């Protein structure tokens, strides 16, 4: 069998960047290593004493799970040990984690991450994920600073996610398409399984937490009704699929086509998901696969970012479906909803 490992693929692709000296390749390799360790723990979560909550609440006001902390620690340790990253921003840390060690002195990159996405699902054996986003630092030297992270999504150098599912997969982009790698546990390597991933232009899946229906903007309510209408020509009604693990929902939609929406609600008037380490990286991937990502009105990657943990609504997926949802947003915003 002719397998290509993530390591081999990254080195091959390094030549796409004329001035690359291998730093980004090494950074991606470090992320791959941490992903394997987290996968190992997630896999035996039912056996090890690692399920449940720590009893603490994070900066977002959410209950922290033991695996959130484990995944966060693993990624931070791998990035520190690799020496290619001068600061980390994580969902689990209120402030950035500056890195100023001997080996990271000339590091050019900063990494933003959601170490465990969908962690409310971990206790019930449902897929969870990790999301990461890489930027070139804007400050000159020393440890990275907050301003290195306050860049628009369009400035991302690379982004990806890992899904710890029925098999573990790492999907990433450096702005030249999207490639997916499946972990072969027998050799302990991520192997290229999904080269050049493309999201279908349209699909028949919509993913949204309909329990919040009453609190959605009118445009979203009307779009949901549109998804449920009978129409042979457009293959409606669409199917509703929502796991509550963003990475898993978005991974499925990326492969079969669909739209994922997390709009504003009365409870989360700015949306729930975070721009820096959830929406921008997912937007980069989906756009690179031929799809779209907006906040209902505007492209996610062009949004200004002022705070590390800034939230935004998210409409992401097959381009025709995102366009249609945005049409409803525009139409019903005019009516003064």
Q: Is the CB of 158 or the CB of 163 nearer to ligand AHG?
A: 163
Q: 3-state class of 5 per DSSP?
A: strand
Q: Which of 130, 155, 164, 100 is nearest to 30 (CA)?
A: 130
Which window, 23-31, 112-120, 158-166, 205-213, contacts Mn ion (CB under 5 A)?
Answer: 112-120
How far is the C-alpha of 103 from the C-alpha of 321, rounded, in Å?
Answer: 46
How far is the C-alpha of 161 from the C-alpha of 117, rounded, in Å?
Answer: 10
Applying CB under 5 A, among 23, 30, 84, 114 the residue interacting with Mn ion is 114
Closest-approach residue to ligand AHG (CB): 246
Which partner in Mn ion, ligand AHG, none is near 209 (CB below 5 to 8 A by kind)?
Answer: ligand AHG
- 118 contributes a contact to ligand AHG by CB under 6 A: yes
Applying CB under 6 A, among 57, 244, 298, 330 the residue interacting with ligand AHG is 244
Q: 284-317 burial, b if ≥16 CB within 10 A, otherwise e?
A: bbbbbbbbbbbbbeeebbebebeebebbbbbbbb
Q: Which of 237, 241, 250, 219 is nearest to 326 (CA)?
A: 219
Which window, 83-91, 160-168, 249-257, 280-288, contacts Mn ion (CB under 5 A)?
Answer: 83-91
How far is the C-alpha of 290 from the C-alpha of 46, rounded, in Å?
Answer: 38
Q: Is the CB of 188 or the CB of 244 nearer to ligand AHG?
A: 244
Tokens, residue 44: 């035996």
**Can you name the residues that pair with 183 across neighbouring β-strands?**
190
Which window, 33-41, 115-123, 287-295, 329-337, contacts ligand AHG (CB under 6 A)?
Answer: 115-123
Site for ligand AHG in 141-170 (CB under 6 A): none
Q: Which of 136, 57, 125, 41 is nearest to 91 (CA)?
A: 57
- 62 contributes a contact to ligand AHG by CB under 6 A: yes
- Least distance from ligand AHG to the Cβ atom of residue 124, Å: 13
- Least distance from Mn ion to the Cβ atom of residue 230, Å: 35
Which partner in ligand AHG, Mn ion, none is near 87 (CB below 5 to 8 A by kind)?
Answer: none
- 312 contributes a contact to ligand AHG by CB under 6 A: no
Query: What percentage of the chain's residues is helix, strand, coil (to nearest 5)?
Result: 35, 25, 40
Binding site for ligand AHG (CB under 6 A): 62, 91, 114, 117-120, 209, 244-246, 249, 272
Binding site for Mn ion (CB under 5 A): 91, 114, 116-117
């Amino acid at each position: 069998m002719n397998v290509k490992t993530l390591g081999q693929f990254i080195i091959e692709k390094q030549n796409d960047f004329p001035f690359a000296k291998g730093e980004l390749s090494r950074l991606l390799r470090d992320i791959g290593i941490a992903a394997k360790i987290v996968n190992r723990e997630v896999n035996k979560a039912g056996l090890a004493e690692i399920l449940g909550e720590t009893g603490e609440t994070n900066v977002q006001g959410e209950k922290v799970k033991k695996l959130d902390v484990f995944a966060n620690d693993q990624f931070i340790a791998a990035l520190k040990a690799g020496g290619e990253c001068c600061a980390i921003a994580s969902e689990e840390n209120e402030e950035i984690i500056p890195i100023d060690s001997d080996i990271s002195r000339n590091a050019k990159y900063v990494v933003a991450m959601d170490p465990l996405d969908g962690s409310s699902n971990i206790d019930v054996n449902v897929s969870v994920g990790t999301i990461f986003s890489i930027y070139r630092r804007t400050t000159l030297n020393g440890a990275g600073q907050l301003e290195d992270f306050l860049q628009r999504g369009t400035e991302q150098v690379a982004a990806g996610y890992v899904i710890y599912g029925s098999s573990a997969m790492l999907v990433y982009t450096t702005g030249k398409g999207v490639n997916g790698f499946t972990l072969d546990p027998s050799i302990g390597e991520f192997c290229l399984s999904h080269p050049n991933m493309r999201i279908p232009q349209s699909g028949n899946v919509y993913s949204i937490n309909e329990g919040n229906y009453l609190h959605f903007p009118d445009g979203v309510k009307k779009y949901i009704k549109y998804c449920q209408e009978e129409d042979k020509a457009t293959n409606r009604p669409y199917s509703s699929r929502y796991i509550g693990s963003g990475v898993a929902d978005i991974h499925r939609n990326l492969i079969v086509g669909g739209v994922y929406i997390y709009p504003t609600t009365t409870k989360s008037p700015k949306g729930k998901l975070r721009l820096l380490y959830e929406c921008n990286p997912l937007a980069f991937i989906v756009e690179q696969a031929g799809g779209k990502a907006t906040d209902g009105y505007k492209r996610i990657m062009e949004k200004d970012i002022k705070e590390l943990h800034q939230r935004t609504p998210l409409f992401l997926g097959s381009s025709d479906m995102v366009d249609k949802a945005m049409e409803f947003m525009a139409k019903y915003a005019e009516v003064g909803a």
